[in-house]
Amino acid sequence: MAGNGDIQWSFSQVKGTLDDEITEADIISCVEFNHDGNLLATVKLSVPRRGEYNVYSTFQSHEPEFDYLKSLEIEEKINKIRWLKRKNPAHFLLSTNDKTIKLWKVSERDKRIDGYNLKDESGHPKDPLSITSLRVPTVRPMELMVEASPRRIFANAHTYHINSISVNSDQETYLSADDLRINLWHLEITDQSFNIVDIKPTNMEELTEVITAAEFHPSQCNTFVYSSSKGTIRLCDMRAAALCDQHAKLFEEPEDPTNRSFFSEIISSISDVKFSNNGRYIISRDYLSVKVWDLNMDTKPIECFHVHEYLRSKLCSLYENDCIFDKFECCWNGTDGYIMTGSYNNFFRVFDRHTKRDVTLEASKEIAKPKTVLKPRKVCTGGKRKKDEISVDCLDFGRKILHTATVLATTDQRSALRCTGDMCECHFKKCHRCKTSFFPSCSSMTSSFSGRRRALEQASRTPNKLVHKMSRQHYAVYFCCNLQRKTKPFLLYACHKTPFYKEGKKKS
């Protein structure tokens, strides 16, 4: 953290090569952390969090299909990934393309069974007549293997393209949403789902809005929200009725007549909606802003952060090149004090809800030196511009950050001790200087090494990480920033161009 209280972001690592010529198949369309923060899932890779990121396992989730009835090609591109909470040594995650949802099990195997009676060493069955004696099979150690296997396939339930999946807090059910319907699934039942929202009109010519995103409440298993292209958010309670066509609350901000234009309906469409970690607030992302809603007040948002208001004068050209239809995601940090979302020209914005400060940073692939601090950027709309400023006319709309995700780090206190010496020293200095602001037990903290170490271990329980994915530049960018401790963060770049490996790839 800088002396003025601003957060510093620095480059940490590059995975792969940042080639300019990338095919469509190399693009990562989704990133998602698991609940304990140890694994990061993308379309092509999943990496354990150990300071630096290495490929943990790679598997093909979906294959391209063709709907012969409708003469439509179903891409293998993954739209969403959601992790289930870990209950055993294996990891489980849901992945979906436009039509099919799959439940995957990712597990490690470092032992094998040797000495079968009815199988030879290669696994082929033996002739029973050739067996002259019986032996007890034994368990022998082997080189660690990471395997991914599909446990459930949920298909044939959506007529339109799936845009959202969300796991319920009961960890037994989940919802999936397409443009007009939301279905409720049980993780153990693949051939049946329950339709809980249906906004399809009898006459499709009367269609005025579509569903854009849906998510379950983080702790109330009966509550979920979904957003629409008309800029509304509906809160539904499944205890009220089996079919939640009648919402419990409607969050909608009245439109300012002075800002009414041809593009008003397009830019008001909500592209993402997320519950806060404590379940009290909701953030929604439209084309130009991020809004924070209180569940107890549905008349207007309590906070509104403008992401790129300078583009309002460029809406006509953005409409012509279809950029106005881009769907940006947004995310909370672990303490719900910061909000992050992407923009154009490789820019991403971080908003501090408490101080109302914001910072614009550029995720540039030109930076290759580790621990290089990113400098804040500013977009000017006219006149002379300073050294670190960029004119709005020079923005590259082909480079954009669309996908974001956050994660809380593990509660294992030893994770803080995995830092390098320089990083720990940064923690110690910041603990000693900022203990009053950021550590609850600051009164017991001393200048001794043991006191600083206790404060460091306490702070390590709630670090946060933020992940961004850049679409058109075809490489993923993982921004890892400890917003809770206000210490110097990391920045990790990972290339989209990650090769496929077969199932059972040995762990490197």
| Pairing state between β 378-380 and 373-374 | unpaired
Residue among 460, 459, 408 at smallest CA distance from 435: 459
CA–CA separation, 43 and 28 (whole Å): 6
From start to end of 229-280, where are the E strands? 233-237, 249-251, 272-275
pLDDT at residue 121 is higher than 90: no
User: b/e for 272-297, b at 16 or more Cβ within 10 A?
Assistant: bbbbbbeeebbbbbbbbbbbbbbbee
Of 74-78, 271-275, 395-399, 495-499, highest mean pLDDT: 271-275
pLDDT at residue 486 is higher than 60: no
pLDDT value of residue 412: 31
Residue 280 amino acid letter: R
pLDDT value of residue 58: 80
pLDDT value of residue 27: 63
DSSP one-letter code for 24: G
pLDDT at residue 409 is higher than 50: no
* Contact assessment for residue 406 and residue 466, using Cβ atoms and an 8 Å cutoff: yes
pLDDT digits (tens, 9 = 90+) for 216-260: 999 999 999 999 999 999 999 999 998 998 999 999 998 888 878
CA distances from 85 to 20, 88, 409 (A): 37, 9, 14
| Pairing state between β 39-42 and 46-50 | antiparallel
pLDDT digits (tens, 9 = 90+) for 249-291: 999 998 888 878 889 999 999 999 999 999 999 999 999 999 9
Task: Record the tokens describing residue 273, joined without a space.
Answer: 């909606």
DSSP one-letter code for 182: E
pLDDT value of residue 429: 25
CA distances from 27 to 30, 164, 184, 334 (A): 9, 19, 30, 28
pLDDT digits (tens, 9 = 90+) for 447-484: 333 444 444 444 444 343 333 333 322 222 333 333 33
User: b/e for 355-394, b at 16 or more Cβ within 10 A?
Assistant: eeeebbbbbbbebeeeeeebebbebeeeeeeeeeebebee
pLDDT digits (tens, 9 = 90+) for 342-355: 999 989 999 999 99
CA–CA separation, 345 and 364 (whole Å): 9
Residue 69 amino acid letter: L
User: b/e for 433-448, b at 16 or more Cβ within 10 A?
Assistant: ebbeebbeeeeebeee
Strand, coil or helix: 264: helix
How much of the chain exceeds pLDDT 90, in percent? Answer: 43
* Contact assessment for residue 193 and residue 152, using Cβ atoms and an 8 Å cutoff: no
How much of the chain exceeds pLDDT 70, in percent? Answer: 69
The tokens 């939301």 sit on which residue?
A: 182
Q: Name 39's bridge partners.
A: 48
pLDDT digits (tens, 9 = 90+) for 286-305: 999 999 999 999 999 999 99
